[in-house]
Structure 1
Amino acid sequence: MNPSMSPLTKSLAALRVVVRGGGPTLLWRVVLTAGLVGAIGLLPWLSRTDPALTVLKARSADRDPAPGTLRAIRDELGLDDGPLVLLGRWLGGLLHGDAGTSWVSGAQVLPSVAQALGVSLLLMSGALVVAAVTVTAVCARTLRLGSRGRLGTRGAGGTATAVLAALPEFLVASVLASVLGVQLGWLPALGWYGPQWMVLPSLALGLPAGAVLGRMLDDLLPGAFAEPWALAAAARGVPPKSLARRAVRRCVPGLLPNLGLFVVGLTGGSVAVEQIFDIPGLGRLTLQAALAQDLPVLQTGTLALVLLAATAGVIARVTARLLIGPALRDSALSSLHRPAPPAPRALPLLYGALLAAVIGLGLPRDALALDTLARLQPPSPAHPFGTDALGRDVLARVADGALNTLGTALAVSAAALVAGLLLGLLPRLSGPLADTVSAVPPVLAGLLVAGVTGSGPWAPALAVGVVAWSPLAAHTSSLLRQERATTHLAATRALGAGRWYLLRHELLPAVLPPVARHALLRLPGVALSLAALGFLGLGAQPPSPEWGLLLAENQPYAERAPWAVLFPAAVLALLGALAVTAAGGVRLPRRRGRADRPARPSGDRVVPAPRQRPNHGDTLLTPAPLSPREER
């Protein structure tokens, strides 16, 4: 692009590039959307229950399910015609702007979905503002040190953000609603009547999301501050604020795909927060429709989420091309990857020892023993973590649930990491697939998986695994796209290096460590999602001591017995701190003797001798030139 072009012209040019190269991608996206909507249309039949009975219970739980009543419902809804006929009718009406009527309420679907989408978009905008402030706070120390040339190869962020990222959204929402909304009365805690009602739910959604994005940005900033343009700008006395701003601009393209996924997740995946604060958003509407098998509402709401995901994906790609498009085209980028120094082992060992101590002290105790005379007892020598509403020992339940929860979470995270890396190598295939998968709320994914495989102990693992790979694949694709445009890779390719050599020795060493750290950062969230789906009846059932079950069961007693919620949440936060501090040491082992090995022929191609990655690129990066005012 010509630097003299106006911003509007640049945006239109970038959009034309995205659209021109997206013909097959658009077709693939349409196929995925059709498959998802069709699978949802089969949900009542996959669940192996009578859809007429489910609709009757949703309309009136006290009504007698007589055969005549069920037959009337089937005739009214046309259930005997089969799912394909129902899907065809819905699509035919949708082409004329009519999404049908709700099977439960009888109201028009399109106005209710549009209203709920507007509420969710407004809530999402508030959450993004909170997330931006959180990202700034997380990366403040790294930006301050890096802009003054006092930053090493690792970010300066601490583990406090890991604790924040590990806390479940519904727990943050419950604490904010009970403390700030009910006890202190600072802000309203229920309803959706004006800007004041946005504050608490925006905080509940934005704080964990901002902590995750902040950790990812903090992981990229040291590489940006070590690039030649940053060193040259610092040597010329450029103000630190201007240098920090351009370092952020350099790293943002690597986060844009995940930011798009966060936008969709904050819109459709905020079911728990909308339930706690009684917000009539799209996530809550979709959940209620899924539980009631209200197909017109469920299909229309899911289609709205898929369209939102597609729009967010296009905006992310256009923005990335605006920021670093010429450098991607000319292979003029420097690599953000830096060999990480040995990570300190004290903190991971400390957190691991604390977690092991909690599990070791609680395992000898009986997690299922009931004592109605010891209900909601505070912590004591007999019960170090107190007791719950049934008199069960909280420490025993936390320890007993840790083995199953952590084991399954590690397996799902490992599978998601492998799938994310493999699919991230194929961005044309995985991009639309990740957008479509991210548009599916976790509860709906659990219902679909349970409908196909049936409820069981592995149903939550399959449901979470279906969606857990998408942010890792998006991260892999964005990093890979920038790494392929680096000058050292272009030089290595010009010397005759083959595709597999570049993948093994250049691309994977640059992409694998940050994506693995990202996967570890999401480990606590995976553990919580597994237990939350079990609580919904799609896996382990009470009284199984799953961590999500502990938080959900004890949440109503948070004011009277806060220890019943705080101790399980503290253990979950401890897992997050352990995951992030352990992720700081994720790096590929250095191979000895590679630099002295001569190049050797490979057929009629010459494979260059492997070399150490340079600390800096060969050319300056593309951030906009400094203005005279900024130079002063």
Structure 2
Amino acid sequence: MAIDKSAGAALNEAPELPGAAGGDILARPGRFKEFWSYFSENRGAVVGLVVFITFILIAIFADLIAPHSPTQQYRDALLHPPAWQEGGTVEFFLGTDAIGRDLLSRLIHGARYSFFVGVIVVVIAAGSGVIIGLIAGFARGWVDTLIMRLMDILLAFPSLLLALVMVAILGPSLTNAMIAIAIVLQPHYVRLTRAAVLQELPKDYVTSARVVGASRMRLMFVTVLPNCLAPIIVQAALSFSTAILDAAALGFLGLGAQPPTPEWGTMLADSREFVLRAWWVVTFPGLAILINVVAINLMGDGLRDALDPKLKRS
């Protein structure tokens, strides 16, 4: 009779397994709802997110939104003022530059280049930095010491100066500028990942994974890394804005994107001599950089507040 009761209990528990799995899946929207509740408490972060999404949409649909080609020159409309200024026309809503190119179209296509720079730099810097940080955190000993001393050397130099030196060696281009910026930002990910790994290694779940025979690679990328992602995500958001700003700085100095590429920093460099004659050729690219960098930084602050458990209110 005892055997029959045990078998019946097992049969009764069997149908509950799909429900348990489904309940685990349904719990994920709950986690997102909790994240959004903390994130939305920061109104600046929400505004930054809206601006960032708008920035992405403009970059994706630049060819459809822009009224003109970013490189087309209108010789009869050199330094044409914006539409609302005396002498301006709706055809060139934000005016034209010194060789008759539509400023609005160049700003819209410039968003695509800035977004491309931010994505590539963050992917390279975060991808390589996280892997090196994991190696340093797990290896310890002389490997850890060697990696961290190399990172300290890179951090000892001013970031923009180091990027300038690298671009000067590699040659002025947008690709080389992205590589230089990624190398400059990489030490931040290495130090952040290593610190997070050292914090997680003594915990019980890591010890349990080691006891059951998990391999080193599984411990690194499956067990520990997912629990280190919160600070890395925040750093990635902040690095995105830094990449845009540094790329614009290199473009302004003539070491980034080269003319006629409609990159915001290059547009500023081309317009320096017309500051007093045509205010719009300098003002609008500068505002584009300012608005996007501030918006991404605000969004990064919101991510930090939402993902850091220490900042969450009980």
* Structure 1 residue 358, shift from structure 2 partner: 5.5
Q: 2:196 aligns with which of 479, 486, 499?
A: 479
1:385 aligns with 2:94: yes
Residues 127-174 of structure 1 deviation map (CA, whole Å, 9 limit, x = unaligned): xxxxxxxxxxxxxxxxxxxxxxxx9444433445986xxxxxxxxxxx
Return the match for 1:415 from 109, 113, 124.
124
RMSD in angstroms over aligned alpha carbons? 4.1
User: Following TM superposition, by how much is the alpha carbon of 1:390 offset from its aligned partner in structure 2, in angstroms?
Assistant: 4.8
Partner of 2:69: 365
Q: 1:449 to 1:348 in 2, by over 3 A?
A: closer
1:347, 1:581 within 8 Å by CA — same for their partners in 2? no
Gaps of 5+ in 1: 1-150, 164-344, 586-615, 622-632
Give the Å deviation of 1:420.
1.0
Q: How does 1:492-507 map to 2 (within 5 A)?
A: 492-493=209-210, 497-507=214-224
AA at the equivalent of 2:267:
L
Q: Which residue does the alignment assign to 1:27?
A: none
SS of residue paired to 1:367: coil
Deviations 1:269-307 (A, max 9, x none): xxxxxxxxxxxxxxxxxxxxxxxxxxxxxxxxxxxxxxx
TM-score, L = length of structure 2: 0.63
The 1:402/1:359 distance shift into structure 2, 3 A limit, reads: farther
Q: Deviations over 1:477-514 (max 9, x none)?
A: 22222222334434554566554333233311112353
Of 495, 515, 525, which aligns to 2:232? Answer: 515
TM-score, normalised to structure 1, is 0.35
1:397 corresponds, among 96, 106, 110, to: 106
State the match for 1:463 in structure 2.
180
Distance 1:350 1:496 in 2: 48
Q: Distance in 2 between matches of 1:537 and 1:159?
A: 34
The verdict on how the C-alpha distance between 1:534 and 1:350 changes in structure 2, with shifts beyond 3 A counting, is: closer
| Distance across 2 between alignment mates of 1:348 and 1:373 | 32
2:79 counterpart of 1:375: yes
Instruction: Measure how far apart 1:470 and its partner are.
Output: 1.6
Per-residue deviation at 1:406?
3.1
| Distance across 1 between alignment mates of 2:155 and 2:47 | 22
Structure 2 unaligned segments of length 5 or more: list them: 1-32, 84-88, 138-143, 304-308
Partner of 2:17: none
User: CA 1:394–1:444 in 2, change beyond 3 Å: closer, same or farther?
Assistant: same
Compared CA separation, residues 486 and 562, structure 1 to 2 (3 A): farther
Contact map agreement 1:370 1:392 (CA 8 A) in 2? yes
SS in 2 for 1:364: coil
2:42 maps to: 157
1:567-624 Cα distance to aligned partner (Å, 9 max, x none): 3345443476479769989xxxxxxxxxxxxxxxxxxxxxxxxxxxxxx9xxxx9xxx
Alpha carbons 1:376, 1:391 under 8 Å: kept? yes
Distance verdict in 2 for CA 1:548–1:382, change over 3 Å: same
1:465 Cα offset (Å):
2.3
User: Structure 2: how far apart are the matches of 1:350 and 1:544?
Assistant: 22
Whether the 8 Å contact between 1:542 and 1:549 is mirrored in structure 2 is yes
Q: Which has the higher contact order (CA 8 A, sep 6+)?
A: 2
CA spacing shift, 1:537–1:474, aligned 2, 3 Å: same
After superposition, residues 424-443 of structure 1 pair within 5 angstroms as: 424-425=133-134, 426=136, 428=144, 429-443=146-160
* DSSP 3-state at the match of 1:538: coil
Q: Is the 8 A contact 1:424 1:474 kept in 2?
A: yes
User: 1:373-431: CA deviations, max 9, x gaps?
Assistant: 54261245222223335543211222333444433442222111111101111152432
8 Å contact from structure 1 (residues 421, 473) kept in 2: yes
2-structure distance, mates of 1:347, 1:402:
12
